[in-house]
């Protein structure tokens, strides 16, 4: 990471934190406690957390985009706050949906407080996001956030619907379907962060549309990077069990690409997945077969292509935004 980018992320977190704390202070005390836990500020018992919260990549995208069109970082804060809260909402609900017990080396919210309270915590974070952006009175920014929300939910629904599809055959999930899902599930909020930043910073609707597309492309690459980490990521870094996505039988890109490649390893992988094995040895074998069939390499290449497309689009619309460019690279550079 460049030192200028490190500085920027620190600066954005310093701008964001008071706004986040002020928003959470508007919740019922118990709801506020759960929100504070979900944001990484406290442990489940309310004591201050040792670990850091999120990296605030989406808020940084919003702030850098506002600055790139001549706005001030302060103008971008309500947008940065809203996208961070929507991101936090989606993680809390995702962990319920995916039965994930761990997030960032700690219990997920439902594991710590129960499913009902976690549903409410997610709802509270989303309500605050909407409320704080609505308070700006900026209609176009609000409309972008709301459209991203619909897309995000549709992407999550599609991802869940993939679980009932077969691994192989006519009804298998195609790579194109996967990319469209990732653009919705992950790209919508990144695109929104960028577009809302431009909008609040005083940029034109055309500029907002352009950076929105940049964010969507990055989102696909970001999701693929997540998929790679979900199989080969170091649990000490990811905070999740090793091979977690394989154990859950998730239809992630490396697996889909491996199966689509055909050949001996792909055939063995299909047999293994069809058997529904989730034990330590079968998932280790599956990871090896995905790599042999070329699924890992293909996923890395596709992520690189999507990042290159995003950067080309960014250079075309905001050629002098070098820190923004560095941020875009960082978003997906977690797998090397």
Contacting positions for a copy of itself (CB under 8 A): 26-28, 30-31, 93, 96-99, 115-117, 119-120, 122-124, 126-128, 130-131, 134-135, 137-139, 142-143, 145-147, 149-150, 152-154, 156-158, 160-161
* Residue 93 or 325 having the CB closest to a copy of itself: 93
- Least separation in angstroms between residue 189's CB and a copy of itself is 12
- Provide the strand spans (E) within the chain: 102-103, 106-107
d(CA 305, CA 170) in angstroms, rounded, equals: 27
198 or 303: CB nearest a copy of itself = 198
Among 180, 2, 196, which residue's Cα sits nearest to residue 87? Answer: 196
Q: Can you tell me the distance from the alpha carbon of 7 to that of 282, in angstroms, rounded to the nearest whole number?
A: 44
Opening angle at CA 106, ends 190 and 37, nearest 5: 70
**Shortest Å, Cβ 99 to a copy of itself:** 8
Calculate ∠ Cα 286-289-290, nearest 5°: 85
The encoded tokens of residue 334 equal: 């977690």
Q: What's the min distance (Å) between Cβ of 132 and a copy of itself?
A: 8
- Looking at beta carbons only, is 153 or 311 nearer to a copy of itself? 153
Q: How far is the CB of 27 from a copy of itself (least distance, A)?
A: 6
Place of tokens 């997920």: 108
User: Helix, strand, or coil here: 256?
Assistant: helix
The token pair that represents 223 in the structure block: 């999701």
Q: How far apart are the first and last CA of the chain?
A: 13
Q: Which residue, among 38, 45, 16, has the nearest Cα to 87 in the 3D structure?
A: 38
**H or E stretch at 324:** helix 322-332
Query: In angstroms, what is the minimal distance from the CB of 68 to a copy of itself?
Result: 25
Nearer to a copy of itself among residue 150 and residue 308 (C-beta): 150
Residue (139 or 262) nearer to a copy of itself, CB: 139
Question: What distance in Å separates the CA atoms of residue 306 and residue 296, rounded to the nearest whole number?
Answer: 16
Choice between 25 and 274, CB closer to a copy of itself: 25
Q: Which one, 149 or 332, has the nearer CB to a copy of itself?
A: 149
Considering the complex, state which of residue 1 and residue 150 has its C-beta at the smaller distance from a copy of itself. Answer: 150
Distance between CA atoms of residues 1 and 265, nearest Å: 36
- Residue 109 CB, shortest distance to a copy of itself, in Å, is 12
Give the number of other CB atoms < 10 A from CB of residue 117: 16
């Amino acid at each position: 990471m460049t030192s200028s980018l490190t500085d920027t992320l620190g600066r954005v977190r310093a701008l964001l934190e008071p706004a986040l704390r002020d928003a959470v202070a508007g919740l019922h005390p118990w709801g506020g406690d759960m929100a504070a836990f979900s944001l990484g500020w406290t442990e489940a018992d309310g004591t201050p957390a040792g670990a850091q919260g999120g990296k605030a990549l989406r808020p940084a995208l919003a702030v850098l985009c506002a600055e790139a069109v001549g706005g001030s970082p302060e103008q971008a804060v309500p947008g940065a706050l809203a996208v961070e809260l929507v991101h936090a909402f989606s993680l809390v609900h995702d962990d319920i949906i995916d039965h994930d017990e761990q997030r960032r080396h700690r219990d997920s919210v439902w594991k710590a407080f129960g499913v009902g309270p976690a549903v409410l915590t997610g709802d509270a974070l989303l309500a605050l996001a909407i409320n704080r952006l609505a308070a700006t009175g900026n209609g176009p920014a609000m409309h972008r956030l709301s459209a991203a929300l619909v897309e995000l939910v549709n992407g999550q629904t599609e991802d869940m619907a993939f679980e009932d599809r077969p691994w192989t055959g006519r009804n298998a999930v195609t790579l194109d379907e996967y990319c469209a899902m990732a653009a919705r599930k992950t790209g919508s909020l990144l695109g929104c962060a960028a577009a809302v930043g431009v909008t609040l910073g005083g940029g034109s609707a055309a500029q907002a549309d352009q950076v929105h597309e940049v964010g969507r492309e990055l989102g696909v690459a970001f999701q693929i990077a997540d998929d790679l980490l979900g199989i080969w990521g170091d649990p000490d870094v990811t905070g999740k069990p090793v091979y977690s996505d394989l154990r859950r039988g998730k239809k992630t890109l490396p697996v889909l690409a491996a199966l689509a490649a055909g050949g001996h390893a792909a055939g063995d992988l299909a047999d293994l997945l069809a058997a529904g094995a989730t034990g330590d040895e079968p998932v280790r074998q599956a990871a090896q077969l995905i790599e042999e069939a070329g699924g890992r390499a293909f996923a890395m290449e596709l992520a690189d292509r999507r990042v290159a497309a995003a950067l080309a689009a960014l250079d075309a619309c905001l050629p002098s935004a070098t820190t923004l460019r560095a941020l875009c690279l960082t978003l997906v550079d977690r797998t090397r």
